[in-house]
């Protein structure tokens, strides 16, 4: 059963699978197009880094915005073929460099929309061949049906979940996994010798308010924000609090 009342996918079969599992695999683009995007990434970031690096956290705001545009240009139009009137929110390269520091533990993403009415979707697509050793994405099927809201001061941890109990997503170049932001996901270390380059893009229904939820004292406040809010790094609570001053509180949720 879906918690979302409004469809995410135009295709009924995809919608059914997305509603019950919280994710679905699609053929998004030609492999060559994904390789070109990987090359564009390498031109922008021509050096080795450590861990799993999200370009939206880049301190160089010019380069961060260039990275976002590169991914957006490739993914947004192709996603619109599958999605039922969704709009772009943000996008990022996600690059997992070889080594243990690249482990991403099980988590859910921020709550971007009112989940009672809508589903926010992330389109995660590999840009290099993603073998098991390179660190594939894993998901917990059906978890979008029970995970709570998530936002700044409300980071949810799922440390008790073993990767072995999750589903490993095997994708060919050109394919993407579309997951509900409430679906628990994770990825292991890249044990290969080369960086695993991927891209992630978040979209929400055209008519939905874009939310950011934040705990303040005993209350969970719902802010109505815009794409600009999510295009800025906001993992540091003080920065997030400062950024949120510009936006209206449109409701609250009992904690």
Ligand X SMILES: O=C(O)CCC(=O)C(=O)O
68 is a site residue for ligand X (CB under 6 A):
no
- Contact residues for 38 (Cβ-Cβ < 8 A; gap 6+): 127, 128, 197
Residues in the interface with ligand X (CB under 6 A) total 11
Q: Which of residues 78-107 bind ligand X (CB under 6 A)?
A: 94, 96, 104
Outline where the chain has alpha helix (H). Answer: 12-21, 31-44, 61-82, 227-231, 237-244
Outline where 58-209 has alpha helix (H). Answer: 61-82
130 is a site residue for ligand X (CB under 6 A):
no
* 111 vs 200, beta carbon nearer ligand X: 200
* 162 vs 218, beta carbon nearer ligand X: 162
* 135 vs 174, beta carbon nearer ligand X: 135
183 is a site residue for ligand X (CB under 6 A):
no
182 is a site residue for ligand X (CB under 6 A):
no
176 is a site residue for ligand X (CB under 6 A):
no
111 is a site residue for ligand X (CB under 6 A):
no
Number of Cβ within a 10 Å radius of residue 220: 20
- Contact residues for 156 (Cβ-Cβ < 8 A; gap 6+): 107, 108, 147, 148, 150
139 is a site residue for ligand X (CB under 6 A):
no
Helix (H) or strand (E) holding 139: strand 138-139
234 is a site residue for ligand X (CB under 6 A):
no
- Contact residues for 217 (Cβ-Cβ < 8 A; gap 6+): none
Residues that bind ligand X (CB under 6 A): 52, 94, 96, 104, 109, 135, 137, 185, 187, 198, 200
């Amino acid at each position: 059963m879906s918690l979302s009342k409004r469809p995410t996918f135009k295709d009924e079969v995809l919608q059914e699978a997305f509603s019950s599992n919280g994710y679905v695999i699609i053929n998004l683009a030609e492999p060559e197009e994904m390789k070109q995007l990987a090359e564009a990434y390498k031109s922008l970031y021509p050096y080795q880094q450590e861990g799993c690096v999200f370009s939206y956290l880049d301190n160089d705001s010019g380069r961060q915005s260039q990275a976002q545009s590169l991914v957006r240009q490739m993914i947004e139009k192709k996603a619109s073929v599958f999605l039922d009137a969704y709009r772009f929110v943000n996008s990022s390269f996600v690059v997992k460099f070889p080594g243990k520091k690249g482990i991403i533990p099980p988590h859910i993403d921020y709550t971007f929309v009112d989940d009672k009415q809508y589903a926010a979707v992330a389109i995660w697509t590999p840009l290099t061949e993603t073998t098991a050793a390179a660190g594939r994405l894993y998901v917990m099927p059906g978890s979008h049906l029970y995970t709570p809201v998530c936002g700044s001061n409300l980071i949810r941890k799922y440390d008790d979940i073993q990767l072995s109990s999750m589903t490993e997503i095997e994708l060919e170049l050109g394919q993407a996994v579309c997951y509900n932001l409430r679906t628990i996901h994770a990825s292991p270390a890249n044990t290969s010798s080369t960086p695993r380059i991927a891209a992630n893009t978040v979209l929400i229904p055209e008519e939905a308010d874009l939310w950011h939820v934040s705990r303040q004292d005993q209350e969970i406040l719902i802010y109505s924000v815009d794409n600009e809010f999510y295009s800025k790094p906001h993992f540091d609570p003080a920065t997030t609090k400062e950024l949120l001053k510009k936006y209206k509180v449109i409701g609250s949720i009992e904690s």
